[in-house]
Structure 1
Amino acid sequence: LNKTKGYADVLGSAKRPAKFVFDMEDINEENRKAKLKKKGAKEKP
């Protein structure tokens, strides 16, 4: 939901389009890493 809104905002704003896209990419990467950490912690109690 946030990702879709983020890209929609980028298309609607010519001020800083690229940076916002990169911010979304960074957030997605952090979320992916966090999920991997949680998964690893569960596998090795």
Structure 2
Amino acid sequence: MDPDARALFSVLAQLDLDAARARLAEAAGAPVEEMEAIRRGEG
């Protein structure tokens, strides 16, 4: 995932906006495992 998308995803994860995170991840082509790691603060 590119750095800008990763940063935005991290902010959205903190806000717990599930639908927005899902749309961003889909648009960025990120794998589910990477999305979940970022959400947990491990990314």
Tell me if TM exceeds 0.5: no
By relative contact order (CA 8 Å, sep 6+), the higher-ranking structure is 2
TM-score w.r.t. length of structure 2: 0.37
Specify the structure having the higher radius of gyration (Cα). Answer: 1
Q: Which has the higher helix share?
A: 1
TM-score w.r.t. length of structure 1: 0.36
